[in-house]
Structure 1
Amino acid sequence: MCQFPVEGVIPCMNTLTIGLTCLLLATFLGAGVVKGVTGMGLPTVAVGLLSTAMSPVAAAAILVAPSLATNVWQMLVGPDKLRLMRRLWAMMLCIAIGTVLSTRLLVIVDPVWSGRTLGFALIAYAVYALFSPTLSVPQRLESWLSPVIGIVTGVVTGATGVFVIPSAPYLQSLGIQKDELVQALGLSFTVSTVALGGGLLAHGAFRLDQFGLSLLAVLPALVGMWLGSIVRQKISPKAFRRCFLLFLVVRGFELTLRPFS
């Protein structure tokens, strides 16, 4: 019989408790709403909330299926997939390499310290998004800067399970049109998700027989996205986004201070 894991490996389906199931459903429903309103944020919210009850490596493993489902859809919407892939292939390759190699950090580092790293990542993402500085990368620098950003994004993804820093700000700085940017973010997040799942699997932190737990989170994530699209029509996305980012700052500080409490 499958027992509760140690060192942050996610639990098997037959060890699910009512509390864990409710946390899982509520987390991905809420994360889906955020993504439906703002266009991103599902992994950031999900890992940030799940880490209240488990280590970041466990949260990252549960994230794989719902993140993949929502990001593939985001990537496929629009006509510019192949052109974006040709333009960003070096960045995507480096994201994959950096993520797979650095995922070991999630597995071997003490969960308290990996949680602290996650806290710093949440704060960095939220502060950047709150102030939204206007950055512009000259096209002549893109050929060598994209692989560097890819590697750094991969390391952050592998160490925290959050894959928006620095890839999202960088893609926004390339001057890509709005619809293309949505696709580019979907492409980046999809590559990060697949690489994260592969890295966790390679390091023994995500077994195939546990994939059902991740699949369980897909439906609430999709329902949340649908609800978020409705909410977006009713409230100011800017105000909602600001409240969401302030929540991430608070959550990030809580995680970073946990080792000293």
Structure 2
Amino acid sequence: MEAGLLALVGATFLLAGFVKGVIGLGLPSISLALLTATLGLQPAIALMLVPSLATNLLQGLTGGHLRGVLRRIWPFLLCATATIWFGAMALTRIDPAVLSGLLGLLLVAYAAVGLGRLQITLSAKLEPFAGIVFGTTNGLLSGMTGSFTVPGVLYLQASGLERDQLIQAMGLLFSLSTLGLAVALGGQNLLRADLGALSAAALLPALLGMELGRRLRHRLSEAVFRRVFLLALLGLGLYLAGRNLL
């Protein structure tokens, strides 16, 4: 069982890292979906922490736009991080099957938005208020499911950030959310030492996968690969939602 668990975790983060290496995102979503389907939601969230933080922290801190991005979206980031604690309370109070089903629905929504290329635009007047609303919602859902993407990424895309700013903003969101989630899991006594050690060990296959993805990026069609990624995420989301809610 221990050898099988190591193989499962290693293969999952190798694949998730490869996806991130090719298209620049997807490691938390892929790893969370696959591990929730096989191990359950709470272990999946804990195992994701170290690889997610390490692979997104550099993305959030580099790029040359840190000060400008923080000045613009700090209310959103603050709300998205602070409210994770309250969302994580659900992990010990709500049936894990219900939360796993909710994760499935969030993955379906994320994939559907990407496949449909849905775009919304926020005016400068609405942006600060929307940041508080979207950030609070994102934080609560992150604490309940471990998913950082919905509706946070949609808000960042709607804010009209330039491509490099958007990539850095997503890195900041994912890094701060991972830190907030680690604190919240520790406060709920859900961050076991064995899962923490395994999460740290999962960093190596995640980095190897990212490097492999980067090397093969120029040989693959990013548009086609992104579509395959979203379709796979849609299928995993439908599976999690159907298995746990129906």
For normalisation by structure 1, the TM-score amounts to: 0.90
Instruction: Quote the residue 1:87 is aligned against.
Output: 72
Instruction: Quote the residue 1:69 is aligned against.
Output: 54
2:142 to 152, 157, 161: 157
Instruction: Quote the residue 2:3 is aligned against.
Output: 18
The 5-angstrom pairing of residues 125-136 of structure 1 reads 125-136=110-121
Instruction: Quote the residue 1:212 is aligned against.
Output: 197
8 Å CA contact 2:16–2:206 kept in 1: the answer is: yes
Q: CA deviation at 1:210?
A: 4.1
SS of equivalent to 1:139: coil
1:54 to 22, 39, 56: 39
Q: CA deviation at 1:134?
A: 2.3
Instruction: Quote the residue 1:10 is aligned against.
Output: none
Which amino acid in the other structure matches residue 241 of structure 1?
Answer: R
Question: Aligned equivalents of 1:77 and 1:130: distance in 2?
Answer: 28
| Bigger proportion of residues as helix | 2
2:131 to 124, 146, 163: 146
Equivalenced residue count is 246
8 Å CA contact 2:98–2:245 kept in 1: the answer is: no
SS of equivalent to 1:109: coil
Question: Aligned equivalents of 1:171 and 1:61: distance in 2?
Answer: 26
Which amino acid in the other structure matches residue 29 of structure 2?
Answer: T
Instruction: Quote the residue 1:103 is aligned against.
Output: 88
SS of equivalent to 2:14: helix
**Alpha-carbon deviations, 1:163-217, whole Å to 9, x = none?**
0111111111111111111100100111110011111110010035642111011
Structure 1 stretches lacking a partner, 5+ long: 1-15
Question: Aligned equivalents of 1:78 and 1:213: distance in 2?
Answer: 30
Which amino acid in the other structure matches residue 27 of structure 1?
Answer: T
Seen in structure 2, the aligned counterparts of structure 1 residues 197 and 260 have a Cα distance that, compared at 3 Å, is closer
Question: Aligned equivalents of 1:40 and 1:197: distance in 2?
Answer: 20
Structure 2 stretches lacking a partner, 5+ long: none
Which amino acid in the other structure matches residue 25 of structure 2?
Answer: M
Question: Aligned equivalents of 2:194 and 2:31: distance in 1?
Answer: 22
8 Å CA contact 2:46–2:195 kept in 1: the answer is: no
Q: CA deviation at 1:39?
A: 1.3
Which amino acid in the other structure matches residue 23 of structure 2?
Answer: T
Question: % of aligned pairs identical?
Answer: 39
For normalisation by structure 2, the TM-score amounts to: 0.96
Question: Aligned equivalents of 1:163 and 1:209: distance in 2?
Answer: 24
The 5-angstrom pairing of residues 149-228 of structure 1 reads 149-208=134-193, 210-228=195-213
